[in-house]
Amino acid sequence: MRWLWYLFRAAWANLRTNRTTTVVAIVTTAFTLACVGIFLLSYVNLRNAAAWLQEDIKIIVYLDDRISGEETRELEGKLKADRMVAGVRYISKEQALGEFRAQFPSDSHLLEGLGENPLPASFIVTPATGYQSPDAVSRWAERARTMAGVAKVDYNQEWIDALAGLIRYIELTAIGVGMILSAAAVTIIGNTIRLALFARREEIEILRLIGATRAFIRIPYFLEGAVLGACGSALALGILKLGFELFRQQISSAGRFQGIENMVSFFPLSMCVAFVAVGMGLGVAGSVVSLRRFGEGRG
Amino acid sequence: MIQLIHVSKSYDRRVALFDVTMEIEKGEFVLLMGPSGAGKSTLLRMLIGEERPDEGQIFVQGKNVSRLKQSEVPYLRRKIGTVFQDFRLLGKKSVFENVALPLIVQRSSEADIRRKVMEALRAVGVDHKKDQSPNSLSTGEQQRVCIARAIVNGPVVLLADEPTGNLDPERTAELIELFKLINARGTTVVVATHDPHVMKLVNRRVMTLMQGVLIPEQRGGDRVDA
């Protein structure tokens, strides 16, 4: 097992020999990845919000004023029997008026001049789990519009769509920024590895001449890259967590956004692990780039 | 053991080797003589797969080195021990660690490493310096450590490129005796040198290179003005 010990010790020696460069590489990689993390965190939280809103989506099926009581019950039965529907609540014309007055007390005089109650009766439909996606809701609404006695179908999809658009925009920005900053991280780590390669060029040459395989020579540098990437991304997570908690404290103390602080959340553990793994991957990529440039691996 | 068939090599327009054909038998001790720039080092580098010939073929233990894949080169080098003029020892590692390197890259067991390294160090007479840094040793001792590293994994061939270049006549004689001892144990030894004094000491087959061309063979001790 001395060979394994040798590889780990070589990687450790690389990190220790260029101590200042190692620290600078970790810190710069951390800030670079933290920038990517900000976009990722915004993206994750907006997606959660969108999913939460989508789960809470309600479809309002307005009824034709001319529909009889018998037809209303028939339609209610039809809606309840639909496998895409989880719940149906009937709102009569009177209830609708009552709700309007309760919600907009200062505007209730607007309806008084009209004499007859202009608000239609409706069914508030909750889509079943698995049928809450924008596509499914849209398809169901199209179908409901064709049902007998239905005057209009409405749902709060517009601003959910707007939110989805914003999420897509952030997603694309995160990908773009992520790619650019990842390349920067690869370059930063790659340059650190190059210094290690330069410092150990004599040893590399000897190893080659005494029969070390290309893999044997490269492994310490891959390990070094992986350690730099992992430390950088772990530090980035720490910076993000600190920033996130400060942000949550700020919105909590501001008072105007009360409740939001409980809706936003940090990355789950699985994502934190994936973040560090990606950092390690970028570190190894930096090593590969440097080893290629250095020309190591000649026969 | 070693066979070169019509081997030629040029760097840009400078001819390093021209139409060299030679054969070295198993267990032979051969001196490769010639002035600086005659092509001795190029020939040795070709034997370990560090350089490839422009023309011709090179066989080591029946393997065509000139057609070896890059991934096979390390395994060829494990069969060949190399002694360098500049020793190429790592100052940050102890004598023991330096000699252990060829065994470490072959993933030998801990017990094997300990046994073989101590055997090699004893064979060259520097076992008592195993924990020291090579930098704290004399030139002659450093050369012996380099030889210990070259023989530690029991190579079939030992190549030495100007091994006496940094040694005084007394140390040179000791070193040649050491090579003879290694050769007596069955290892084929090829020593490249421009030092006529070495030829006198060896008294074995001599191959002389002049401007990349191999000239007819002599025997060591016959001539000292090569």
Interface of A with B in 206-225 (CB under 8 A): 206-214, 216
- Residue A67 makes CB contacts below 8 A (sequence gap 6+) with A75, A121, A149
Token pair recorded at residue A23: 């620290």
Domain formed by B1-68+157-163+183-196+204-217, architecture: 3-Layer(aba) Sandwich (3.40)
Q: What is the pLDDT of residue B15?
A: 87
Q: Can you count the helices (H) and strands (E) in chain A?
A: 11, 4
Q: pLDDT band for position B119 (50/70/90)?
A: very high
pLDDT tens sequence across A22-58:
888 888 888 888 988 888 888 888 878 777 777 778 8
Distance CA B103, CA B31 (A): 28
Domain formed by A58-155, architecture: 2-Layer Sandwich (3.30)
Mean pLDDT to the nearest integer, A68-96: 89
Beta strands in chain B (DSSP E): 2-11, 14-24, 29-33, 55-60, 63-64, 80-83, 157-161, 188-193, 205-210, 213-219
Domain boundaries, chain B: 1-68+157-163+183-196+204-217
Angle of CA points A92, A96, A99, to nearest 5°: 135
pLDDT tens sequence across A246-281:
988 888 777 666 666 677 889 999 999 999 999 999
A181-A187-A193-A197 Cα dihedral, nearest 10 degrees: 170
| Contact B155/A at CB under 8 A | no
Beta strands in A92-171 (DSSP E): 122-127, 150-155
How close is the nearest chain A Cα to the Cα of B94, in Å? 14
| Contact A86/B at CB under 8 A | no
Q: Sheet harboring B55-60: ordered strands across?
A: B14-24, B2-11, B55-60, B63-64
pLDDT tens sequence across A199-236:
788 888 999 999 999 988 888 889 888 998 999 999 99
CB-CB contact of B152 with B100 (8 Å): yes
Q: pLDDT band for position B148 (50/70/90)?
A: very high
CB-CB contact of B84 with B104 (8 Å): no
Angle, helix A157-199 to helix A134-145, in steps of 10 degrees: 160
Q: What is the pLDDT of residue B187?
A: 92
CB-CB contact of B48 with B38 (8 Å): no
Residue recorded with tokens 């009360």: A258
Residue A161 has pLDDT above 90, yes or no: no
Q: What is the pLDDT of residue A258?
A: 63
Q: pLDDT band for position B120 (50/70/90)?
A: very high
pTM over 0.80: no
Provide ipTM, 2 decimals: 0.86
Mean pLDDT, chain A, integer: 84
Q: Do B88 and A6 touch (CB under 8 A)?
A: no
Domain boundaries, chain A: 2-53+161-294, 58-155
Q: What 3-state DSSP class applies to B57?
A: strand
Residue B222 has pLDDT above 80, yes or no: no
Mean pLDDT to the nearest integer, B174-201: 88
The DSSP call for residue B38 is S
Q: pLDDT band for position B223 (50/70/90)?
A: very low
Measured between beta carbons, the chain B residues lying within 8 angstroms of A205 are 88
pLDDT tens sequence across B45-76:
999 998 899 999 999 988 898 888 888 999 99
Residue A299 has pLDDT above 70, yes or no: no
